[in-house]
Amino acid sequence: MTPLLPNYLGGQWHTGTGAGAPLVDPVLGTELVRVDATGLDLAAGFAYAREQGGKALRALSYRARGALLAEVLKVLQSKRDTYYEIATANCGTVKNDSAIDIDGGLFTLGTYARMGETLGDRHTLLDGELARLGKDPLFQSQHVLAPTRGLALLINAFNFPSWGLWEKAAPALLSGVAVIVKPATATAWLTQRMVQDVVEAGILPNGALSVICGSARGLMDQLQPFDVVSFTGSAETAAVIRSHPAVTQRSVRVNIEADSLNSALLLPGNEPGSEAFELLVKEVAREMTQKSGQKCTAIRRVFVPESCYQAAAQAIAARLAKTTVGNPRNESVRMGALVSREQLQSVQAGLIRLKTQTEVLFDGSTQPLIDADASTACCVAPTLLGTRNASGSAQADLVHDTEVFGPVATLLPYAHVGNDVSHALALVRRGQGSLVCSLYGSDSAALAQAAQALADSHGRLHIISPDVASSHTGHGNVMPQSLHGGPGRAGGGEELGGARALNFYHRRSAVQASTDVLRHLSTSSN
């Protein structure tokens, strides 16, 4: 009988009372485990997290909480092999793609563990400088950040069960805020196992870290005014969260990361065969195939000068043709499966939709799957689409509005006179706000100018020039030191960004007092 994964809530393990939802191997089609949250006392569990877990965390300094995160990291590092096995079975990813999720999550956790040492033995953070409130400097104002006395509900997407957990939980725990994580059902096993390993190690205070697997029904109902919720997923679900009474009536703070039509832009003057051109081709092919295109930061639209359209199509196709697709257990496979049958159907439907306005420049489905049954495996080959009319509202509106969450991208030409990229910038902005846009070129001034022009509509600008060809971190790779999030369609949220991530889990207050009183703020405790 398939095992039912337990939930951890209220400082105890609980097995759901329902039949549970099956988690399936997306390549073999076999049932792995089941998850269920039926019968949980959510109200008591949320109260326990606030009153026990949060209180115990706030009693510690940032340095002490950072030390706890360092111990958590050691536990997780000792069990990496198990996590890789789960990722292969439940996520269908090849080893290199599993590393993006697993090792990326551990790297982020380590970054915030070290940050605790930097923040020191304080219990609150100073925000900005002292500000005079009058001519006499004796009475002044100092803004401070204090950990919220609520909890953090983390609702995560299916594509990053490890990184999605730790990129949110690490800054929350370092801030002194208890965490309840709700992973996406399809790939919840890895998140649940990591939480289980941390809980069993006895590192964190009771109630500091909880996990609920299965249906999310009723979770938002438990939120109180000082709680926060961080969500990654579809725009439709984000709209439901934003309209929930916890948000509209109780002012629960919300961070949203939603859909994103991320772009890659080749600047003029970088002809086929140039180093910048080749860097674009390499990055587009990599972004299309990493994790089978199931990254919220993956490149979806590729903009090149009109004169480069055909050459770019051929060069990207040549790279994609080398991508072997199939069972990630086979060492010759370079791209595994989508995470579920539902996701496969979504990608197939999206492709059909985009093909009504595009031509197929490369179709990887002509190659057979390796060591996988096409009737069972949730595998889809990389597909490069293109249209020579990127501007027409009727001819290309779907391209600028439809995100296919798989190994699919669309090549789009833009017109220019000399180095004028105003047409390209306008096309990029038709994505209505994105997580990331990468720029390719060899003219530093032109790259900087384009970045400044696009900064208002992107959470991150990733500039790849020949001088950083071997050192840049990748278009879709989210580094904890830099902001993750984006305006408009991307959800309007902000995560990571180094110490900026802690702001979401703190409350800002202006303390008006004598200069002598304000001197003691940096060392005061709760």
> Residue 100 pLDDT more than 70?
yes
What's the mean pLDDT when you consider all of the chain?
Answer: 96
Q: What is the pLDDT of residue 522?
A: 64
Q: What is the pLDDT of residue 520?
A: 85
Q: What is the pLDDT of residue 282?
A: 98
Is the distance from CB of 205 to CB of 57 less than 8 angstroms? Answer: yes
CA distance 101 to 91: 11
**Per-residue confidence band for 525, with pLDDT thresholds at 50, 70 and 90:** very low
| Helix, strand counts (H, E) of the chain | 16, 22
CA distance 257 to 157: 10
> Residue 294 pLDDT more than 50?
yes
Residue closest to 437 by CA, chosen among 267, 275, 311: 267
Q: What is the pLDDT of residue 526?
A: 42
> Residue 393 pLDDT more than 60?
no
The secondary structure of residue 338, as a DSSP letter, is: -
Catalytic (active site) residue 257: yes
Q: What is the pLDDT of residues 157-209, one digit of tens each?
A: 999 999 999 999 999 999 999 999 999 999 999 999 999 999 999 999 999 99
Residue closest to 139 by CA, chosen among 510, 522, 469: 510
Catalytic-labelled residue, pool 257, 283, 287, 403: 257
Q: What is the pLDDT of residues 447-503, one digit of tens each?
A: 999 999 999 999 999 999 999 999 999 999 999 999 999 999 999 999 999 999 999
Q: What is the pLDDT of residues 114-155, one digit of tens each?
A: 999 999 999 999 999 999 998 888 999 999 999 999 999 999
Mean pLDDT of 213-233: 95
Q: What is the pLDDT of residues 31-42, one digit of tens each?
A: 999 999 999 999
Residue closest to 400 by CA, chosen among 444, 434, 360: 434
Q: What is the pLDDT of residues 46-65, one digit of tens each?
A: 999 999 999 999 999 999 99
What string of DSSP letters covers 63-127?
HHHHHHHHHHHHHHHTTHHHHHHHHHHHH---HHHHHHHHHHHHHHHHHHHHHHHHHTT-SSEEE
Catalytic (active site) residue 296: yes
Catalytic-labelled residue, pool 213, 296, 308, 437: 296
Domains and CATH numbers, the chain: 4-258+494-523 (3.40.605.10), 262-480 (3.40.309.10)
**Per-residue confidence band for 216, with pLDDT thresholds at 50, 70 and 90:** confident
Is the distance from CB of 214 to CB of 189 less than 8 angstroms? Answer: no
Q: Which amino acid is at 504?
A: F
Q: Pick the range with the lowest mean pLDDT from 84-98, 265-279, 283-297, 385-399.
A: 385-399
